[in-house]
Structure 1
């Protein structure tokens, strides 16, 4: 039984809304917080770690990441989602080995830990041909580095290109045939894999677990979505699904269905607690009411939405309706980073652009809650993650209070949220294990990881370049589709998510 005591840090209050006025000792046994007591009030339990002059915060929960994009970091800018997506999901998959997948997964996981994230949700593209060894390689990477992770192989039964509006009008038959994969694993096999993994990789019992990740309503038939919902209910696995990330998606849904995708999911009975609606940028008041009534969460990725020009979701309206909001970075192909502190800061900054009543602006406390307890609620794990309290898993970050961002020390919570990236992390603990110490990973050598990744990239760069050249040939058709969809009307009452060009 591992026992240790963090001696003398300042710490967030149990509700996460502020900082306790006096230092505390945090007692940890078998990966769980057993006590939070006044500093020095009792002898330490187990190993004593001097945590004076630090601030203890629950580790960030990154509610959305795509590890399959990590080799594409830094390659794209000034592209909306619909033009960008074909570059990171090329029609001809890259020739990856299991070791490539292992290394690729470590790219995001290492940056996440080093910037204060203790849990990451990986929407893992394993198409068009499912290779269980690749899934196991990603799970092994998360096991080895020491982070908490939930991985979901992306689920869909409508090919990606067939879900694009006007695709048959804008692409010739030869192009469409080229977009269809020569070989594809039946969707049922993906469901069976997740169901099998749930027996040994359930996130309630395992640090590295699985969840269900249907891609989006437009990429899943109604029958397939119902089967995902049935499996989620039977296994009690969390669910993540992209919904109306962009204006194109919102307008084309209204054009093709006469309803929003949120209405559609609600009518299917898909919305439920433990289900995260990823992005949810373009919403109507009716959508918000349906989400609130269902108990589902909205998963907000402000930095990715900025990079891809997708828009700003109405966070205050969601919170006012009682909707839980979590935060994430999205994949490194769109944003280059799994640094959640940048996401938390931008959440507390960007939403001050919406509305003239400054008293209703999103504050530092709400942004931090969304990145911690909000993330735990979204996954149905709020009884285990997101707070510093007895009974919670010991997923904690210690920030040095002598770092420039905290000097002079006035309000530690606000200075954390609005301080610079790399704010001065002393230690990161996951289930009570110190996985980052003095700014370095404790389980793996970051420099060795970087060296091996560069070796892999020397072999893969030509294949990535070839795939990008092929995507360029599709660009004119997709630009025509994007332009056509900009002219389509949105559902009545849709809350504006972008500023006018003027």
Structure 2
């Protein structure tokens, strides 16, 4: 007697599935989804026998992958995309970005900018982003409106801004936002001290204590430029990473952003501490920060995720772009063509990012029991033919324009390359209004105490 098929919400049938928990690519398999979670991954014929789905999605020329995890961004800065190109980091920050923020950043700015970022990221297969910016409640609202997963920063600096008056105020407001967001399963928080050159020892110690008490990751720029390191050495004789280690920040929950300029002993120390790195290759190149030693970090066993940085310094929130660039740079810098194969790059953009955020039991791979955060990439176009290796195609051929479907917790957010949420926010018109406002402001004056 044939068993009665189990009724489920969704069955996704794909030509290829990259689960990421192994390097194997499954062919002609299906993912069964119910109540937002992955029930099983199994051969197509068996799936059709076992399950009666309310909805069936057939992806005959597609690769199904986990939703991409953007391990570092400043989402609201999408409104400042291209505002000050072709400048080194400190000049870009001090003479352009910080003055523009001093004039414009508000709850509404962050809400509108993050809405724009969520739309861009979802259309590019990004289902989770790790954000470092101000007014995190506004960012939480935007992510929730789009059904997206977000890890939001308790962003902390010493100098005053539109959001807070000093480091203690930044922390208090960030923790209050975390409390206000409550138990939203798609929203989590990180402690986010901006950088060693903008945060004091006292504040870093406070951050380390809070991280231990609240079991939160720490998300911090570090060793982004040579100037950052030389300034630190001239001020107190220590490289920034050594200072953070002495202050107790470097551990399993630490996410070091950029980490372009690391020496051998620093790579070994990060690996020994089980800390993570957020690699942002496009931003590193655009700001001429340098080439991160990704091959050496990978060989040392460091957990490396991929980030876009903000659209003001990239200028796109595109993890397909970052995957390919990360692979090519690692090969070119190391002189080893075998460095960073496609399967490893995909893991960086998914499971490694989830692990850095402490979310790897929930997302990052297509695994039974995990949340159904999924992305379908179409290889139907002529520029994707023929396809011998779908993972190679994903990293070296496809672009975000090939993303056809995106699900978060089993809910379809992008269908046939169309974003299903956000039409009511009139994002084009909203972006134009902010552009007009930013264009009339004359930048060049530092906000108060910005050099502290």
Confirm or deny a common fold (TM above 0.5).
Answer: yes
Q: Deviations over 1:46-80 (max 9, x none)?
A: 32222333210011100111124222212222211
Alignment partner for residue 470 of structure 1, among 432, 445, 450? 445
Quote the Cα distance in structure 2 between the aligned partners of 1:447 and 1:92: 22
| Partner SS state of residue 90, structure 1 | helix
**Distance apart, 1:189 and its partner CA:** 2.7
1:254 shift after superposition: 2.4
Q: In the alignment, which of 55, 59, 74 is matched to residue 47 of structure 1? A: 55
For the 8 Å contact 1:201–1:210, the answer to whether it is kept is no
TM-score of the superposition, structure 1-length normalised?
A: 0.82
Question: Secondary structure of the equivalent of 1:349?
Answer: helix
- Distance in 2 (CA, whole Å) between partners of 1:219 and 1:460 is 25
Pick from 110, 118, 143 the counterpart of residue 119 of structure 2: 110
Contact 1:18 1:413 in 2 (8 A): no
Whole-Å separation in 1 of the counterparts to 2:97 and 2:192? 18
1:341-360: per-residue Cα shift (whole Å, max 9, x none)? 0000000111112233444x
Q: 1:289 to 1:446 in 2, by over 3 A?
A: farther
Conserved 8 A contact 1:280-1:298: yes
TM superposition shift of 1:381 = 1.2
Contact 2:8 2:51 survives alignment (8 Å): no
Q: Distance in 1 between matches of 2:411 and 2:383?
A: 26
Greater Cα shift, 317-326 or 45-54: 45-54
SS in 1 for 2:109: helix
- 14, 23, 38: which one pairs with 1:17? 23
Q: 2:353 aligns with which of 341, 353, 375?
A: 375
After superposition, give the CA deviation of every residue in 1:69-107 in whole Å (9 maximum; x if it has no partner).
222212222211011112111177124553333211122
Q: Please tell me whether the aligned partners of residues 327 and 345 of structure 2 are also in contact (alpha carbons under 8 angstroms).
A: yes
- Note if 1:66 corresponds to 2:62: no
Partner of 1:191: 171
For the pair 1:291 / 2:299, whether they are aligned, the reply is: no
Q: Shift in Å at residue 266 of structure 1? A: 1.3
1:21-170 matches, within 5 Å, as: 22-41=27-46, 42-86=50-94, 87-90=96-99, 93-96=102-105, 98-124=107-133, 126=134, 134-157=135-158, 159=159
Is contact 1:281–1:314 with CA below 8 Å preserved after alignment? yes
Flag the 1:470–1:264 CA change in 2: closer, same or farther, 3 A.
closer
Give the distance between the partners of 1:182 and 1:194, measured in 2 at CA. Answer: 14
Q: What whole-Å deviation, never above 9, does each CA across 1:232-271 have from its counterpart, x for those lacking one?
A: 1211122200101001012222232322211111122111
In the alignment, which of 224, 229, 233 is matched to residue 254 of structure 1? 233
Q: From 415, 418, 422, give the equivalent of 1:444.
A: 422
Cα deviation, 1:454-502, whole Å, max 9, x if unaligned, reads 1343334312xx1x2436xxxxxx9xxxxxxxxxxxxxxxxxxxxxxxx
Q: Distance in 2 between matches of 1:424 and 1:446?
A: 25
Gaps of 5+ in 1: 127-133, 160-179, 472-477, 479-502
Q: SS at the partner of 1:46?
A: strand
Greater shift in the superposed pair: 293-302 or 62-71: 62-71
SS state of the match for residue 113, structure 1?
helix
User: Could you tell me how far apart the structure 2 residues matched to 1:83 and 1:219 are?
Assistant: 15
Deviation track 1:158-208 (CA, whole Å, cap 9, x = no partner) reads: x3xxxxxxxxxxxxxxxxxxxx779952322322233334446478x6212
How far apart, CA to CA, are the structure 2 residues paired with 1:307 and 1:419?
22
C-alpha displacement of 1:336: 1.6
Bigger fraction of residues in strand: 2
Is 1:406–1:412's contact at 8 Å kept on the other side of the alignment? no
Work out whether residues 281 and 325 of structure 2, in 8 Å CA contact, stay in contact via their aligned partners in 1: yes
1:272 Cα offset (Å): 1.3
Secondary structure of the residue aligned to 1:253 is helix
Deviation at 1:423, TM superposition (A): 4.2
CA–CA separation in structure 2 for the residues paired with 1:213 and 1:77:
25
Q: In structure 1, what is the Cα distance between the partners aligned to 2:423 and 2:416?
A: 13
Q: Counterparts of 1:307-318 in structure 2 under 5 Å?
A: 307-318=286-297
CA drift of 1:446 comes to: 8.4
Q: Which structure 2 segments of 5+ residues have no match? A: 1-6
* Residues in 1 aligned to 2:112 and 2:64: alpha-carbon distance in whole angstroms: 30
What are the Cα deviations for residues 133-171 of structure 1, in whole angstroms up to 9, with x where unaligned? Answer: x432221111111211111142022x3xxxxxxxxxxxx
Q: Report the TM-score, using the length of structure 2 for normalisation.
A: 0.90
What is the CA–CA distance in structure 1 between the aligned matches of 2:335 and 2:203, rounded to whole Å?
43
CA contact (8 A) 1:426 1:438 kept: yes
- Check 1:399–1:210 CA distance in 2 against 1; reply closer, same or farther (3 A cut): same
